[in-house]
Amino acid sequence: MKPQVMTALGPIAVEDMGVTSSHEHLLLGMPGWEYDASYTYDRRAVADKCIAQVKEAQKYGLQTLVDATPMDLSRDPELYKMVQGETGLNVICATGLYTEPEGNSAFWRLLAKYRGYDEALKRLTNAYMTDVSKGMHGSDVKCGVLKIATGKGAIAPIEELSIHAACLTQKELGTPIISHTAEASMGPATARMLLEKGADPKKTMIGHMCDTDELDCVIECLKMGFYVGLDRFGLNMIFTDDNKCVNLVKLVQMGYGDRILIGHDATIHNHVIDLIPDEIMATMTNWNLCGLFRAFIPRFKELGLTDAQVSKLMLDNPQRFFAGA
């Protein structure tokens, strides 16, 4: 059988993914948003907001999006089905835990503390496997990717537990793993930990590695055989977009062009409020699903990439990654 990838509306052939953005969020909510009494979640309104942006990006050829939202940053399977159903965009959903400081992992920390690492690992792996093989939050929306996350300067115990659970799930079910690093910090350490715990680098991506000028760290991950995510184009409040473009072109020209996945890490709707202040948002006009097409891909070409090199980033590489080739 041809390799398949799971979307919100069921499996598709990997070869049908088409142009793919490898790390985005239709919806995001930092833990605690649900207690803000001044806000009510209107799924229909949020779906319309997502659909409007998706339709814009489809004009440029976008066909598939990886929604990298882990279980503790507020997923909505009904929303994913609506967006995919009403636009035809393939939405690949994620399971996993966010970082220890900013996620919602108290239960898992306490479980590991009182019942031991092995028990917590067994149950977290079961949670990930359930999301992949049965569906998230009791729905029939199955996850097509595992999301791990590491904080700044250290890999916290719960982050290690989650990496371990993701590796066991990958071994059992073959699911690809993507990662969040905090400004690329801990990228190589995460890669080494993934290898120790049995991850397949051909199906594993170390994310947000565009947020640094230290290309040695990026290359270290690539040399271990991992994909790297240069997946925050437009989010220039952390690292400048121009440096990201220059570094991407350098890496491609050094011969790593078949191991790079790109995206914006855009959030179309953030529960309650947009957390980023308006004056900063005003400077990030390309932080949306169209940014790569409108601003950054033209810039890659100005800096010397060929059409064939560009086409690998959003067409060939995501397919090879999801096929594990």
Q: What is the contact mask toward Zn ion in residues 220 to 249, using x (rule: CB under 5 A)?
A: ------------------------------
Q: Does 68 bind Zn ion (CB under 5 A)?
A: yes
Quote the least distance from Cβ 114 to Zn ion, whole Å: 31
The residue sitting closest to Zn ion, measured at its beta carbon, is: 265
What is the nearest approach in angstroms of Zn ion to the Cβ of residue 301? 26
Contact segment (CB under 5 A) with Zn ion among 67-75, 157-165, 239-247, 293-301 equals 67-75
Q: CB of residue 266 vs Zn ion: minimum separation in angstroms?
A: 9
Q: Does 131 bind Zn ion (CB under 5 A)?
A: no
Of 121 and 182, which CB lies nearer to Zn ion in the complex structure?
182
**Cα dist from 243 to 203, 210, 227, 248, whole Å:** 27, 9, 20, 8
How does DSSP classify residue 179?
Answer: E
Alpha-carbon distance of 99 to 113, in angstroms, equals 18
Compute the least distance from the CB of residue 118 to Zn ion, in Å: 30
Q: Does 100 bind Zn ion (CB under 5 A)?
A: no
d(CA 151, CA 185): 8
Cβ closest to Zn ion, residue 68 vs residue 262: 68
Nearer to Zn ion, 68 or 83 (CB): 68
Q: Give 301-310's long-range contacts (Cβ < 8 A, gap of 24+).
A: 303/245, 303/246, 303/249, 304/249, 304/253, 305/249, 305/252, 309/252, 309/257
Verify binding: residue 265, Zn ion, rule CB under 5 A. yes
Give dist(CA 159, CA 186) in Å, integer.
Answer: 12
Cβ atoms of 103 and 149 within 8 Å: the answer is yes
- Please state the closest distance from residue 315 (CB atom) to Zn ion, in A: 21
User: Of 70, 227, 263, 261, whose CA–CA distance to 148 is shortest?
Assistant: 70
CB-nearer residue toward Zn ion: 68 or 124:
68
Binding positions for Zn ion, rule: CB under 5 A: 68, 265
